[in-house]
């Protein structure tokens, strides 16, 4: 009971902390791979010499390995952000693997620079978030394998393992460095401490209780959060997608209003299911010429994503299946291999057109910078599965072959023959195929 009251008071206090939110800055070049050794200080991290950039700068391995949940929280966070993948610098996207033992929990916290979209790979997860002052409405839901849930930028939220087995989650966030403010630690663990008298008034608690809380939270060797807090050493943000002007703007597909994105549903009618999608554990049908299938979870499937600048897809690949060359005009992509083995690659822009490619295995993560042409191909003997998060509610896809040779009406074959320096009859043959 006392704990519940304390929790509620902590929640109320959050209005002190949530002020200005924004997304990461738009990139000014193909990529700016972080140079972790440079003494220069910038918003984000300084860039490495582009001529030394390699596929490994966009790569992380080991996300299939469970985190160690033997700690007071019964939880572990394995971050994959700009520190682990320097290629994420300036791209506005990162992810983490969460492991929760039965009853393990991630304490109430918020990411001041990011919306979060999480997918349950194993087990059962209770997730909840609380809207801002003055309503403090609490949305919560129990998720099972294959379920997806979105937590709007800056809102206080928590996760808890509620099954009797371990729970595994992949959580993507639309910042290279989302930041984390854990409310109990922020309030009672501040260094130097916030005046106990002030806190006892703010929380209407006995001063002795406050002092006890401060002592506990300053001492706590916070295994779970150390790795993340250590990363919060720079950065403010701005703008891939327009920053939200309110807690959320759940898409109303029935509205006839035309706006950038979609019109908002009446907030009084919003429920946890607006932030929810289920079925991402189900394989897509790969019986098609690509030998692959993309199952999207963007604003059309999950209306709560409207204005939040993030979404994800599941991709299934039959052996030798490809996700052919394409670009996302509005998003960077961060892809995790869940099963199988993929060859992936992207091509930098003019004049270098450098081809950056790598073979990925289960647990590997790879980044495709916004707008660059890229592909994936199953190079294993079994089916492959990936979960890819994208830094847009509606990233868009431009299939290169489809756009060039399959436009409606056709681009004149003269133009294409000159552009590709090939015979016009060959161009016409290709056009006939698309």
Interacting residues toward ligand NAG by CB under 6 A? 68, 70, 285, 287-290, 324, 326, 397, 399, 402
- 109 is annotated as contributing to ligand binding: no
Q: Are 407 and 421 in contact (CB under 8 A)?
A: no
- 138 is annotated as contributing to ligand binding: no
Report, in Å, the least distance between residue 375 CB and ligand NAG.
9
Report, in Å, the least distance between residue 51 CB and ligand NAG.
31
Give the residue with the Cβ less far from ligand NAG, 136 or 434. Answer: 434
- 326 is annotated as contributing to ligand binding: yes
Report, in Å, the least distance between residue 32 CB and ligand NAG.
27
As given in the structure block, the two tokens for residue 411 are: 């681009």
Report, in Å, the least distance between residue 250 CB and ligand NAG.
28
Q: Which residues pair with 366 in a beta bridge?
A: 59, 335
59 three-state secondary structure = strand
Residue nearest to ligand NAG (CB): 399
337 three-state secondary structure = strand
Report, in Å, the least distance between residue 245 CB and ligand NAG.
33
Q: How far is CA 336 from CA 33, 61, 144, 227, 430, in A?
A: 19, 9, 19, 20, 33
Give the residue with the Cβ less far from ligand NAG, 65 or 234. Answer: 65
159 CB burial (10 A radius; 0-12, 13-18, 19+): buried
Report, in Å, the least distance between residue 303 CB and ligand NAG.
24
Number of residues that make up the chain: 434
In 3D space, the residue among 345, 355, 403 whose CA is nearest the CA of residue 376 turns out to be: 345
Give the residue with the Cβ less far from ligand NAG, 90 or 378. Answer: 378
Q: How far is CA 418 from CA 387, 400, 406, 425, 433, in A?
A: 39, 17, 17, 12, 19
Give the residue with the Cβ less far from ligand NAG, 321 or 369. Answer: 321
Give the residue with the Cβ less far from ligand NAG, 79 or 154. Answer: 79
Tokens 């966030």 appear where? 173
Give the residue with the Cβ less far from ligand NAG, 70 or 350. Answer: 70
- 333 is annotated as contributing to ligand binding: yes
As given in the structure block, the two tokens for residue 129 are: 């978030």
- 323 is annotated as contributing to ligand binding: yes
Mark the binding-site residues for Mn(2+), compressed into ranges: 326, 328, 333, 374
Mark the binding-site residues, compressed into ranges: 323, 326, 328, 333, 374
Mark the binding-site residues for oxalate, compressed into ranges: 323, 328, 333
């Amino acid at each position: 009971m006392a704990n519940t009251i304390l929790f509620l008071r902590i929640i109320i206090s959050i209005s002190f902390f949530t002020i200005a939110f924004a997304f990461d800055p738009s990139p000014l070049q193909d990529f700016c791979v972080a140079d972790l050794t440079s003494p220069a200080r910038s918003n984000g991290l300084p860039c490495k010499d582009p001529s030394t950039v390699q596929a490994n700068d966009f790569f992380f391995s080991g996300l299939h390995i469970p985190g160690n949940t033997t700690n007071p929280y019964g939880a572990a966070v394995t971050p994959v952000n700009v520190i682990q993948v320097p290629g994420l610098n300036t791209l506005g996207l990162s992810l983490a693997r969460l492991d929760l033992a039965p009853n393990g929990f991630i304490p109430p916290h918020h990411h001041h620079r990011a919306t979060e979209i999480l997918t349950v790979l194993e087990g059962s997860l209770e997730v909840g978030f609380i809207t801002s002052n003055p309503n403090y409405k609490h949305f919560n839901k129990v998720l099972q394998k294959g379920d997806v849930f979105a937590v709007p930028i800056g809102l206080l939220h928590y996760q808890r393992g509620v099954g009797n087995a371990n729970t595994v989650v992949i959580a993507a966030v639309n910042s290279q460095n989302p930041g984390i403010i854990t409310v109990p630690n922020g309030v009672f663990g501040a260094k130097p401490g916030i005046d106990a008298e002030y806190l006892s008034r703010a929380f209407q608690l006995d001063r002795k209780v406050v002092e006890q809380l401060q002592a506990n939270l300053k001492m706590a060797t916070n295994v779970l959060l150390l790795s993340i807090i250590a990363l919060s050493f720079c950065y403010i943000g701005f703008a891939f997608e327009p920053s939200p002007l309110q807690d959320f703007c759940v898409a109303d597909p029935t509205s006839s209003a035309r706006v950038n994105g979609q019109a908002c549903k009446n907030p009084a009618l919003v429920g946890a299911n607006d932030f929810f999608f289920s079925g991402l554990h189900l394989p897509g049908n790969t019986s098609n010429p690509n030998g692959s299938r993309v199952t999207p979870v963007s604003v059309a499937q999950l209306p709560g994503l409207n204005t939040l600048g993030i979404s994800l897809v599941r991709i299934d690949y039959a052996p030798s299946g490809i996700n052919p060359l394409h670009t996302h005009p509005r998003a960077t992509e961060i892809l995790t291999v869940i099963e199988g083995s993929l060859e992936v690659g992207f091509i930098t822009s003019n004049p270098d057109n450098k081809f950056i490619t790598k073979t990925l295995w289960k647990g590997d993560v790879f980044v495709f910078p916004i707008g660059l042409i890229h592909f994936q191909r199953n190079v294993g003997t079994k089916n492959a599965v990936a979960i890819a998060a994208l830094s847009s509610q509606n990233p868009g896809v431009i299939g290169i072959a489809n756009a060039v040779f399959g436009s409606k009406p056709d681009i004149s074959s003269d133009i294409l023959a000159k552009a590709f320096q090939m015979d016009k009859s060959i161009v016409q043959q290709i056009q006939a195929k698309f």
